């Protein structure tokens, strides 16, 4: 059983600390479980089709996800001030999808452990704002959530990011997110996936990982 995201993240946004790991290792573990559970139901589908509106296929999107999750862990470990790290993760292109998902679980576990072990004062470079352990964990949750959404759309599966996880991510990475909408829909709007009532779909977007 995976942890219940709504029990780990307060949608009122009042219990997510600005620095340190806080509840983020548990949130990241919950996101990993939720997303992989959803993706595992579609392993017999066509993963060579485009993932949502991305230019990548579903398989290529998994590669991007593995790269990002390991990359965030690497940034927290190396803590560069002006560049990305020199380690790049990839999945075996010949492996079946279900074992590629095993690779995503490994990558997410590496990030979770790194977040848990990183001191509150540690900072590392990111092009969208130098960040701390909580920030990189939130980036990992965002990557998992939005790309699972992309892939499940392509596979004909019904899935949206859990509300509690989305609320936590909005607090940490999207301080200017619009109010008056559910956290899941708001996260998908912030990342350019959907429209919201009165708000057109975003063509360009980025999060703000700086520590506030």
Please state the rounded mean pLDDT for residues 83-104: 95
In degrees and rounded to multiples of 5, residue 196 shows phi and psi of: -120, 155
The pLDDT of residue 3 is: 40
Q: How confident is the model at residue 11 (pLDDT cuts 50, 70, 90)?
A: very low
The pLDDT of residue 20 is: 57
The answer, yes or no, to whether residue 67 has pLDDT greater than 50, is: yes
Domain span holding position 116 = 5-10+19-190
How much of the chain, in percent, has pLDDT values that exceed 70?
A: 90
Q: Is residue 208 part of a domain?
A: no
Answer whether 0.85 is exceeded by the pTM.
yes
Q: How confident is the model at residue 29 (pLDDT cuts 50, 70, 90)?
A: very high
Q: How confident is the model at residue 199 (pLDDT cuts 50, 70, 90)?
A: very high
Q: Is residue 195 part of a domain?
A: no
Residue 167 · residue 13 · CB < 8 Å: yes
Q: Is residue 72 part of a domain?
A: yes
* CA dihedral for 117, 211, 165, 42, sign (positive or negative): negative
Q: Is residue 197 part of a domain?
A: no
Q: Is residue 201 part of a domain?
A: no
The pLDDT of residue 1 is: 34
> Which residues 6+ apart lie within 8 Å of 174 measured at CB?
186, 187, 190, 207, 208
Please state the rounded mean pLDDT for residues 75-97: 95
The pLDDT of residue 22 is: 84
Query: How do residues 31-54 score in pLDDT, each as one tens digit?
Result: 999 999 999 999 999 999 999 999
The answer, yes or no, to whether residue 17 has pLDDT greater than 90, is: no
Q: How confident is the model at residue 93 (pLDDT cuts 50, 70, 90)?
A: very high
Tally of domains in the chain: 1
Residue 177 · residue 190 · CB < 8 Å: yes
Which residues is 1 bridged to in the sheet?
none
Query: How do residues 120-143 score in pLDDT, each as one tens digit?
Result: 999 999 999 999 999 999 999 999
Q: Is residue 198 part of a domain?
A: no
180: left (phi over 0), alpha (psi -120 to 50) or beta: left
Q: How confident is the model at residue 164 (pLDDT cuts 50, 70, 90)?
A: very high
Q: Is residue 200 part of a domain?
A: no
Lookup: tokens for 54? 């991305």
Q: State the chain's mean pLDDT as an integer.
A: 91
The answer, yes or no, to whether residue 212 has pLDDT greater than 60, is: yes
Q: Is residue 118 part of a domain?
A: yes
Name the residue with higher pLDDT: 80 or 17.
Answer: 80
3-state secondary structure of 103: helix
Please state the rounded mean pLDDT for residues 10-30: 66
CATH number at residue 108: 1.20.120.450
């Amino acid at each position: 059983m995976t942890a219940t995201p709504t029990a780990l993240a307060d949608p009122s946004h009042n219990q997510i600390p600005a620095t340190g790991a806080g509840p983020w290792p548990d949130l990241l573990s919950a996101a990993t479980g939720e997303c992989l559970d959803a993706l595992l139901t579609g392993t017999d589908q066509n993963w060579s089709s485009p993932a949502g509106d991305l230019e990548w296929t579903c398989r290529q999107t998994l590669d991007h996800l593995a790269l990002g999750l390991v990359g965030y862990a690497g940034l927290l470990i190396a803590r560069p001030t002006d560049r990305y790290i020199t380690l790049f993760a990839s999945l075996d292109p010949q492996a079946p999808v279900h074992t590629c998902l095993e690779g995503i679980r490994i990558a997410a576990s590496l990030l979770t452990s790194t977040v848990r072990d990183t001191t509150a004062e540690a900072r590392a470079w990111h092009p969208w704002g130098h960040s701390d352990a909580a920030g990189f964990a939130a980036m990992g949750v965002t990557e998992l959530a939005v790309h699972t959404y992309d892939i499940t759309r392509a596979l004909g599966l019904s899935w949206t990011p859990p509300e509690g996880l989305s609320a936590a991510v909005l607090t940490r990475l999207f301080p200017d997110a619009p109010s008056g909408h559910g956290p899941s829909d708001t996260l998908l709007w912030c990342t350019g996936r959907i429209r919201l009532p009165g708000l057109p779909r975003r063509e360009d977007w980025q999060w703000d990982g700086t520590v506030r």
